[in-house]
Structure 1
Amino acid sequence: MAKIYVTRKLPEEVESRLSEHFDVRSWEYEDEPVPRETLLEEIKDVDGVFCMITEQMDEEVLEAGEKLQVVANMAVGHNNIDVEAATARGITVTNTPDVLTETTADLAFALLMASARRLPETSDILRKGEWGAWSPLQFTGQDVFGATLGIIGLGRIGEAVVQRTHGFKMNVLYHSRTRKPEKESALGIHYEEQDTLLQKSDFVMLLLPYSSESHHLIGQRELALMKKRAILINASRGGIVDEDALYHALANNEIWGAGLDVYEQEPLPADHPLLTLSNVTALPHIGSATVKTRLAMAHLAVDNLIAVLDGKEAVTAVNH
């Protein structure tokens, strides 16, 4: 029976399914990542690893896995894995796309609305007993209905977000590495070069994968192009935004606000400068966090492990 290592405690139904097929060892904590030294030791004699985005599956770790055949990542993104090093060693890397598309699109649009109408900020004011007399401009936010949304990265999640804009009669612009004319007519969206999109949009939403090319894609120059009343929404990966530049732009009212679900360092330290700003809506990376979706992601990771260790093609391979 093939041996696998699981880097986090999983729901009982997923653990039971794994135990039917494999000799399973696992880290027994749900909310605490496996220490690196433990991972390096546990990986030595296993055939597969079921991991999370919190594990850095770099060359050192992959090299330690002398029998390793598959790394099943419970996420769409895989920048925590050195895919090139895995491929060189004949290790299959898999991810969990598609099953979280609609859930993540829900969260991205909810983050847009919460940021526009200052929901976390004003809820805190109410709870602290600081709600004073009504005044004409008290707690005013930005309109979503009829606004212009610029999406950078029109993948599956981006397309799902566009569907959610129709009820709000939003004007949607997009920019992606490859223009998609067939999507423009089908979805009623317009392609723009990135700089033009930044200049025209009331909301700029980032929905692209992280890579060396997209590192700090949004920095001081790009933020300066945005409208002073614009809101930046990042529901993709933290490294895409230069957080120092973003803090400066927000603190100096160069843009109106930001809604963030992802960060360069996760978990985000409680003393991070961005958390001192009232015009930042900050969430703890909950894009796919519904019970149904997280279970679907886990089961897809199991499907990949079963397929590869049974000598078949992975269901959702990152490399080949």
Structure 2
Amino acid sequence: MSSSPTPPGAVAGKPVVVLRPAPQRTDRIFTPGALDLLRDRFTVVDLEGDPSEKALDEILPETFAIIGQPDLPAERLARAPALRALLNVEGNFFPNVDYETCFARGVHVLGCGPAYAQAVAEYALALALDLARGISREDRAFRAGRERYVSDGNADAVLLNGSDIGLIGFGNLGRSLHRLLVPFRPTLRVYDPWLPPGALREFGVLPAGLDETLSRSRFVFVLATVTDESRQLIGERELALLPDGARLILVSRAPVVDYPALLSHVARGRLLAGIDVWPDEPVAADDPVRGLEGLVLSAHRAGGIPQAFLSIGDMVLDDLTLLARGLPPARMQPAARELVGRYRNRPVT
């Protein structure tokens, strides 16, 4: 096979970086300053306007890193002998890459999940405070002329401060949320089967089984990713363990929860819930969930804010700069060889 021509504009000593960020956009994840630095430090081959497989194949033999996650089976990776990094800027590790080949070849596979963690954590806290005090519910009542003054509107109000709180999952989201919850002096129980109890105790939380976490928590944050093991993790049996009046906040992945079972508990007035992710998005216009009291509804808004998106570009630039110097990445999330094949997350549209 003949070698590919030198990329137009390539400079000796500047590694070739392919920019193919779909479904993201370059202007969404890079500030002008960060993009200028990227182009100053690397030979950037911009394929955003030409995402064809042919264009990618032509440049692969020269490529040091790819910003994006195009299909990379083993035979395609074989045509990229200089590849050292794949930087996913969508937020999920999808099964369109031969990860084993990447690991065997020392290709760093990095994800941008940490960029969203703070935004999601703050949003989850906001949902919890809303559910604790009925903020959006009483706002709707006020606008409709049904407001209740002073204690009349607080019959079911509770404090987050000093509460028993359960976290289902303690990855990027759980750790960011933990920092926000500490000032409320809660008793924090964490269920995460991927972490040993000692690792959890180092954060000052109580390791607990799923049943204990649910049955002893007034607030439960569902923060787990989707695997075959976690699909429908919170079903009817688990929901029945929650105390009456408990508040459940779901901001990670919809398949982790049995929605009909959860909505049934909410409809009966036994539980309150704040939901940001849904089994089918967009939610149908006539879905009964829209009129169900006891819910705070959100249209998958927790993480996708401009600050979070722009931090992705900064993370990409920092880690590419380190890799070009022969140093390990420091800001993005490395794909774990033992875990990356387990994820079952869907693309966010």
TM normalised by structure 1 equals: 0.76
Work out the number of aligned pairs and report it: 299
Give how far 1:256 is off.
Answer: 1.9
Aligned equivalent of 1:184, options 201, 213, 237: 201
Instruction: Tell me whether 1:220 sits opposite 2:236 in the alignment.
Output: yes
Instruction: Tell me whether 1:130 sits opposite 2:145 in the alignment.
Output: yes
Instruction: Tell me whether 1:318 sits opposite 2:335 in the alignment.
Output: yes
Give how far 1:217 is off.
Answer: 0.9
Asked whether the 8 Å contact 2:92–2:113 carries over to 1, the reply is no
Aligned equivalent of 2:95, options 70, 75, 82: 82
Aligned to 1:110: 126
Identity of aligned residues (%): 20
CA offsets, 1:150-209, max 9 Å, x none? 11222353244333334333222222213433643752x323211122111111112222
Asked whether the 8 Å contact 2:121–2:177 carries over to 1, the reply is yes
Aligned to 2:190: 174
Instruction: Tell me whether 1:195 sits opposite 2:211 in the alignment.
Output: yes
Q: Which runs of 5+ in 1 are unaligned?
A: 29-37, 52-56
Aligned to 2:161: 145
Give how far 1:300 is off.
Answer: 1.4
Q: Which has the larger radius of gyration?
A: 2
CA offsets, 1:41-84, max 9 Å, x none? 77555646544xxxxx69xx434967575542235x525x1176
Aligned to 1:31: none
Aligned equivalent of 2:302, options 284, 287, 294: 287
Distance across 2 between alignment mates of 1:100 and 1:175: 21
Distance across 2 between alignment mates of 1:198 and 1:237: 18
Aligned to 2:340: none
Q: Which runs of 5+ in 2 are unaligned?
A: 1-9, 11-15, 338-349
Q: CA RMSD in A?
A: 3.5
Stretch moving more, 300-309 or 238-247: 300-309
Give how far 1:242 is off.
Answer: 1.9
Give how far 1:92 is off.
Answer: 4.7
Aligned to 2:72: 62
Asked whether the 8 Å contact 2:87–2:111 carries over to 1, the reply is yes
Distance across 2 between alignment mates of 1:304 and 1:233: 33
Distance across 2 between alignment mates of 1:256 and 1:160: 25
Asked whether the 8 Å contact 1:4–1:46 carries over to 2, the reply is no
Aligned to 1:276: 291
Aligned to 1:238: 254
TM normalised by structure 2 equals: 0.70
Distance across 2 between alignment mates of 1:181 and 1:113: 30
